[in-house]
Structures are given as C-alpha cells and as structure tokens.
Structure 1
C-alpha cells in the first residue's frame, strides 16, 4: 500500500443513479487485513448466510456501478473492545477515490481512544476527505450518551458530516458464548436521543430496524429533525410493521435505503422491498432522494423516476 495520502473528491452524479445504498461494509484492505477477528467474521457469515464475506472495494464498485447505484462504504475501528486493529481507513479512502463515481467513504474512529480519536477524526476529514463517520456502540463497547464522548460529537458536529450508529440486534457475535462480550444495551436508540438533543446540528443515522426497540427509534426520528433511520441489515420482508407503516407517512422523509452489503445483496433487498405496502410516491425518497439530501449530493432533476424503475426490475 502506498504511503501517499489520497484525498477523496466525490464525483457521484445524483441524476444518473437510481439509488444510494447508505450501508456497505468494506471488510478487507488491499494488504488482506480483515476488519474483525476471525471468530467474529465466521459467526456473522453464518448468521447472515453470506457466501462472499470480503469483496474488495473495486469489486463492490463494479457491483454498484452495474446497478447504477452509489454506495456509502465504511469499516469499524473497534481496537479497544476487539483487541484487533481495523483495516486501513487510508486504503478504504484511496479505493473510494478511484471509484468516486459510485463509492462514498465514511471514516471510523474508536471513541474509547480518547484524545487520539479526536486527532484521527480530524485527520480523516481534513486530509482524507471522508464524507461521514460510522460507529457501532456494541462492537466498540461504549455508551454514546456518556459525557466522556461528547467532545467527539462536538467535533463531528462542527464538520457538518452525518454519523451512522448501529442500533438494535447484533449479528456480530451472534451465536458465540456470551455474544463474544458484545452488549446489546449499547445499541439501544434511546442513548442516541441524548446525543441528538445535545448536538442538534449533528446528523445522526440510526442504522437498521432497531429491534427490539423499534418504537423508540420511530419516536426519536419523528421528534428530532437531525435523526434518520437506514433500513439495512434486515430483509424488508422482516421489517417491523410499525416501521413500514410510519415510513409511509410521518417518516417518509427520514428513512434511507441500506443493505448491509456484503451481508445482504442489493438484489435480495430490493426484491423484498418491492413487495412492501408503500405508496408509489414514497419509494423514490427512500431509495435515493432522502440520501441525496443527507449526503449533500447534487439535487436530482428527475426526483426519483429512475428509482422507481429499479424496484420494477429487481
């Protein structure tokens, strides 16, 4: 891997894509280093019945380019909790930079590293050009509402970039003794309500249907203008009924297409999404338009006409 720093510049043309997948994992870097320990990788592959767990960034780009979609790509820095260094953020950004027509890099820092997390977050924004951040409170082992992490949220709020936080059930550690020490309570969306209230200019994306706390997530996203929900990690056919119902009305501008690729493929997610009882006018927002606004991409002139086609042809 080159020591030269590559800074990302986004070249995604919102007019020429049909959807934005807000939740895609890059689990391996160009040196072959995996994002998580081997037992975690194996258990999550079994849980999600995933055939290909570690596609390269270039392979991911080819898949999304073929589908005329953009994808937000990230990894998770959980070095303290997991005792395992993450795959390279610099490598991830460089991979997205050479595929900047379809890939959008989010950064990640381990909040438990204290001041080092602040320094690294600033570096990722100013030197690498990341377009947001990904956090997994359960896998990283921290309570996002704890005051010790507020300096980090204050810094990220100042950058004006969105932050994705895992919420709800965890596939990571599922089936392992003690869930591999991963604590579900850190993924209760109510912990993010504190953060959203205290940092009103920080855009928070609650990742996944937040089972078993879906009603809490719905309430927070309804109440807080700066909070959104991505629909990744579950096949739409298993979405809680309350999430589907509210996505049709009060949350229609607050929910975002996401797969959790490579754990769930766009094809499988979209095929199930097509069968949800959603209004035709709601679908384009979920698939693309809401994400375009959250990510600050160029506004689409066709307002989702292509997004409707992707559902029809899924």
Structure 2
C-alpha cells in the first residue's frame, strides 16, 4: 500500500521516468541529449528517485515512476534497477508509486524477476516500451509477463505512437515505429480481459485506433503524457470529454515535459470543468485503488 493522502495532493502524474541511480553520476551525452533536442529543452535533466519525489512533493502531486529495460536492444542493464526504484519509492511512498520494467526478451528469467518485484518489492505495475524493446505487444513472448501482472491485479502500461527515442538521429537510432501501434494492445486486452492496461501518450499516427481500443475494451485507459495538450488532436479532446471521461489520465512524461508546462497548456484547451478533476486525479486514484481519507472525496 502507498502512503498517498488524496486530500493533500492536487494531481496524480501516471507517467514519469527515473534516469539516474543514486549510486552513480549522470551519464554524459547519449540518448538524454537526443531526447532533449527532440523536445526542445536542450540537454534533458536527469533525476534520481529521491529528487523526483522532492519535485512532486513540492507541487503537492503524486506520480508513478519507472525506468525502461531494453537490454535485448542495447545490451545494457537498466540504470537505475527496478529494485532501486521500488526500494526508494517505498521511502517516498507519500508521493511515488513504483512501476517496474522487464524486457520480454529476458524470457523465464524475466518472469521470475517480475514475480520477485511484485511479492518482495511491492511494484504496482509494469512499463513496456515496444519500440525500444523491439517487440509487438501481442507477441506471445511477452504473455508470461502479462500473466504475472494479471495474476496480481496490477497494471500494464504500454508506450504507443511515435517516440522521441532516436528521433532525428541516423536511421532513427534503429528504433522501429511499427511496434507501437495500439491495435497490437487490443489483442492483449482480449487475451487478458481482467488486466488493467494504459495506452501511454496520444498515439500519433494511430490516435483513432487508440480511441477505438479504449472505448471497446473496458479495462483499457489512455494517458496524455509526452505531448503538450495544445497539440492534442480534436478527436482525443472530444472523447476525453465524453465516452472516455472516466478513462483518461494525466501524465507528463517528466522530465521531458514538466507538469507545469503540461497543465498550463491543458488549462487552455476545451476540456469540460467537470471532467478536469477526473483527468488530473480521480480516474488514476480509482484505477490505482487509492482510498481518500475519511470524510474526503478523491476530487476537489
């Protein structure tokens, strides 16, 4: 259980990244600079989990935090490790909810690791990045991992749509966009009907596909991370106001987009007043099973 007091927070950011370990200095150059250039922020800042927790605590927000394990494509272990993210999140449980990431190519070893992360470290979900992990979400290779997630009633979060990873570099850094079509996740939603799924990001160029999956499959949600709201396509705003008003979630993709920038632009788009608190906090609180304090509601 987390120690999040819903009465004390204004929002739940369901999509933040931890890029630095507390045990090592920040890396020089590399993907961080490429990503920063793509998002127009210069060199991308990199936070340890305690720094991330402090950032969100100062803003009276909670967040889901994770790294991304892409060892099959990079040959490198994830830094920080899933264990570090989970252990430090436990120390900052008033604002941080830990997710883990396991590259499906790890096979049986990855499944064993996932079970340990759930039972010994209390992770609440798993992040998949099909582009950087090089797999289609409906590839049966990943199904043993989904079985662990479904068995424990956790959340599977999938990157969908175009990615800033490798963007603008030679050959896109070897990243293949085909893996992030949300229609692949539709198969997962059929085969694991009781597993909660988040389609991360406005899913350019497959926004209509994402909306179709989320309206058709009752346990599929959409997070709004990775894009400034001023660039949201009209149909996403329309569905967020109507059919998906209870299934759309605030996410920033921090640190490439800050919650301040995201919320400033969100305030300027045509979201109904009664829907805004659902997107900012209430929908995520319900999905995560967070309970308000006695006498308090989840919203404002």
TM-score, scaled relative to structure 1: 0.91
In structure 2, C-alpha distance between the alignment counterparts of 1:107 and 1:258, rounded to whole Å? 17
Native 8 Å contact 1:22 1:258 kept in 2: yes
Distance of 1:128 and 1:60 partners within structure 2: 19
Residue in structure 1 matched with residue 189 of structure 2 by the alignment: 196
Q: Does 1:59 align with 2:54?
A: no
The reply to whether residue 228 of structure 1 matches residue 227 of structure 2 is no
TM-superposed CA distance for 1:303, in Å, is: 4.0
The answer (yes or no) to whether the contact 2:126–2:155 under 8 Å persists in 1 is yes
Q: What is the correspondence of 1:80-229 to structure 2 with a 5 Å cutoff? A: 80-87=72-79, 88-229=81-222
CA contact (8 A) 2:33 2:44 kept: no
**Residues 211-220 or 42-51, more deviating:** 42-51
Q: How large is the RMSD of aligned CA atoms in angstroms? A: 1.5
Match of 2:265, SS? helix
The number of residues matched between the two structures is 296
- The C-alpha deviation readout for 1:33-75, integer Å capped at 9, x for no partner, is 76x9953222111111235521222221111111111000000
CA distance in 1, matches of 2:20, 2:298: 35
Q: Contact 1:256–1:290 (CA<8 Å) still a contact in 2?
A: yes
Who is 1:28 aligned against?
A: 20
Q: Per the alignment, in what secondary structure is the counterpart of residue 30 of structure 2?
A: helix
| TM-score for both structures, normalised by structure 2 | 0.95
Segments of structure 2 that go 5 or more residues without pairing to the other structure are: none
After superposition, the Cα gap between the structure-2 partners of 1:47 and 1:246, relative to the gap in structure 1 and judged at 3 Å, is same
> Is the 8 Å Cα contact of residues 32 and 44 (structure 2) preserved in structure 1?
no
Structure 1 unmatched runs, 5+: 1-8, 306-314
What residue in structure 1 maps to residue 234 of structure 2? 241
Separation (CA, whole Å) in 2 of partners of 1:304 and 1:10: 18
